[in-house]
Each structure stands twice: as structure tokens, then as C-alpha cells.
Amino acid sequence: MAADISLSPRYPSTMRKSNLIIGLLCTVVFAPLALKAQHAATTSVTIRVSDQTGAGIPHAQIRLVPAPEPAPPKIETDDHGQLSINLQAGGYALFVSAQGFGKDTRHIDISIPDGQASANQIVPVVLEVGRSGGPTVVSTAVEGSLTLTADPYHAPVSLSPAEFRALTHVTITVHNGHTNATETYSGVPLATLLARVNAPIGKELHGEAMTSYLVAGGSDGYSVVLSLAEVDPSFHEGQVIVADTRDGQPLGKSGPFQLIVSDDKRPARWVHNLDFITLQHAR
């Protein structure tokens, strides 16, 4: 009996220590899993593709940027013109096409309200028969500002000269073939500006995005074309910037903004009085 009495005080202490160790192990093992599950939470989304009469379009091709993870091997509508897919919360560029119809591109926002992850969200898409779906150049309506358009990745963004000056600038020195002079320009890399409208730059620039191009235009109606890869530093060594000063001074009659393409032998794509840059798709 004496032996039993002498050992009994140890048991509560030993049990508490064991429970503490088990609790810590559970925290280490299951907390990251719970956090990962929280970050990977998805909601059901149904994309309905129909013609102008309301009839569903079967086997319409659908692409989402960023791509869902894990990405299904094939994303298209069923025989009723619908595609059900689980998506994480966030913004997506949605591309829809079908044989005999024009393309539809748009930006969609997917949300997961608290406690409603299972609620189905409907995204209706109507395709027009035979519509060309050609690009439309959008110019700024605000004099003196620069408008960036990258539909469907983001709504247009307009920057005033004051807002532009607040952005981080870089400086490049180039030879101007027209004036036969070396000039120093300060401005913002075009890739940095395109990131503000979620254009597929960097790791997102692959696949169909490689057929994208940019139209840059000035207030005098002059416009030029650059491929999207051409302005991406991960693809191209030459620098493409939107400048707001030359040799430390405002651009004067050439401004307030000017497009500078550093490695062009002729400055034909140096757009004076730049007022819009829009992202287009070749197909």
C-alpha cells in the first residue's frame, strides 16, 4: 500500500505532460493542413454559354486566366451549353469561343461568402453568330492622361501626369536617329504599367497569351504595334518605357507622355503625345 501511495502523485504530472506533447503534435501536424485547406477553399461556378435566342451552345471552348488548380484536361461546355467548375475566390479573365460564333472575353470576380462555399455562382455568356470579335482601340476621354486597357483582365486604368510622376521611374540613354543625338529619358517600364491592369506578364505570358499585342497611340492619331513579349523583360532585353522627361526636363510638345523603344534603330515607334495603350488578342 505504501508503494502505491508514493507513486500516485506522479500520475497526474505524467498525464499532463503527455497530453501537452500530444496537443503540440496535433497543432504542428493539423494546423498547416487546416491553413492550406482554408487557402484552397473553392466554390462551385457554372458558366452558361448560349446564343442570342437563349439556346445553349454545346462544346464551347473556355479558358480561364489564372488557370484553375488543378486544371481539368479539357474545359468546354456540355451538351446543354454549361460548364460546372470549382474555382478559388479572386478575379479571372474568361475567354469563350465556339465554332460559328464570335469570341467573348470578360473579367469575372468569384467570391466565397462566409459559410456559403457550396453556393453555386452562375456566369451567363451570350455569343453572337458570326461576329468578328475584332479589337476595338479605346482612347482616353481625359485630356492629358494616359489610359491603359487590357480587357478582360481588368477595367481600364487612367493615370494623370501627377499620378504618373508618383510611380517608380527608371532612366535610359538612347540614340535618337531623327535628331542624331543621344538623349536620356526618365519614365516607367511599360511592363510595370501593364501589371496595373493584370496583363499576362512574366510567368503568365505563355500559350494563347503569346499571340497578344499592344496598340499604343497618341492624341494626334498616330499609333504603333508591339508584341506583348517584346515589352516583357523576361523575354526581351530591350527596354520599353513610357517617359515623362527628356534630359531632366518635361517633354514639352512631345508630352506629357512618350513611348520609347530603346533597341529600335529608327524611332518610328517612339509615340509622341501618348494617350492610350491597349492590349489586343490576335485570335
DSSP notation for 144-206: T-EEEEETTTEEEEEE-HHHHHTSPPEEEEEEETTTTEEEEEEEEEHHHHHHTTT---GGG--
Partners of residue 59 on adjacent β-strands: none
* Grid cell locating 254: 512631345
Same domain as 151, residue 74:
no
The whole domain housing 82 covers: 42-126
Nearest to 82 by CA among 114, 100, 58: 58
pLDDT reading at 98 higher than 50: yes
Provide the terminal-to-terminal Cα distance of the chain, rounded to the nearest Å.
90
pLDDT of residue 27: 46
pLDDT of residue 30: 47
Same domain as 169, residue 106:
no
Nearest to 213 by CA among 139, 135, 138: 135
Same domain as 166, residue 83:
no
Residue 18 included in any domain: no
**CATH number, domain at 236?**
3.90.420.10
Same domain as 200, residue 76:
no
**CATH number, domain at 91?**
2.60.40.1120
**End-of-domain residue from the set 126, 154, 174:** 126
**End-of-domain residue from the set 126, 160, 178:** 126
Structurally, the chain folds into a number of domains equal to 2
Largest CA distance in the chain: 107
Same domain as 267, residue 184:
yes
Same domain as 118, residue 153:
no
Residue 118 included in any domain: yes
Residue 196 included in any domain: yes
pLDDT reading at 189 higher than 50: yes
Give yes or no for a contact between 84 and 159, defined as CB atoms under 8 angstroms apart.
no
| 3-class DSSP state of 277 | strand
Same domain as 273, residue 151:
yes
Which region among 31-35, 203-207, 246-250, 261-265 has the lowest average model confidence (pLDDT)?
31-35
pLDDT of residue 131: 53
Residue 22 included in any domain: no
Same domain as 153, residue 120:
no
Residue 32 included in any domain: no
Same domain as 67, residue 171:
no
Of residues 66 and 26, which shows the higher confidence score?
A: 66
pLDDT of residue 16: 57
